[in-house]
């Protein structure tokens, strides 16, 4: 569990090395509390990994249920942006934001999941460009990366890991 992993890390590296928080990225209040607690307990955040995802239904968009669509977008897209907005102002130089996406991004028949991962590709690329402009230094803007997936690795500024 997350608590076990956090306990193992803190046993090795000290109380301010890790923190486990269970929250739903679909809920703005839970995202806000997670960010506030993290910053309060750890004093800052050097890495944010956005890995929350909801698959939804794998079916064509023409008959996709809107209630499922909205839930997938809340978790996969809106929650990611909420967390980025919450941590970015206090993130130190050299910090990193990693948005986990998928090779399924934009693929037909994959429904809201595929569109949400395509949206994460866009958020990641746009954020990287915006940070580069603000910082006036592309190397400093390497706070943003996305992985894995061959579709996203061809996008400007993408970083992929295998």
Q: Which residues are catalytic?
A: 113
In angstroms, the CA 155 to CA 52 distance is 22
d(CA 137, CA 140): 6
Strand partners, 99: 50, 146
Q: How many CB atoms lie within 10 A of CB 141?
A: 18
- Cα distances from 63 to residues 16, 47, 57, 99, in angstroms, run 48, 38, 11, 28
Residue 70: which of 102, 32, 115, 106 has the closest Cα?
115
Task: With beta carbons less than 8 A apart as the criterion, state whether 29 and 23 touch.
Answer: no
Secondary structure class of 115 (helix, strand, coil): helix
């Amino acid at each position: 569990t997350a608590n076990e992993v956090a306990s193992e890390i803190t046993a090795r590296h000290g109380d301010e090395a890790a923190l486990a928080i269970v929250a739903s990225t679909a809920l703005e209040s839970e995202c806000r509390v997670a960010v506030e607690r993290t910053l309060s307990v750890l004093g800052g955040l050097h890495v944010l990994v956005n890995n929350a995802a909801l698959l939804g239904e794998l079916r064509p968009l023409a008959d996709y249920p809107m209630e499922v669509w909205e839930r997938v977008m809340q978790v996969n897209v809106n929650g990611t942006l909420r967390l980025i907005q919450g941590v970015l102002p206090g993130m130190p130089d050299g910090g990193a934001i990693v948005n986990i996406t998928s090779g399924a991004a934009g693929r037909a028949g994959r429904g809201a999941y595929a569109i949400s991962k395509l949206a994460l590709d866009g958020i990641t690329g746009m954020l990287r460009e915006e940070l580069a402009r603000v910082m006036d230094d592309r190397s400093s803007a390497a706070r943003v990366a996305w992985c894995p997936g061959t579709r996203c690795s061809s996008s400007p500024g993408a970083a992929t890991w295998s």
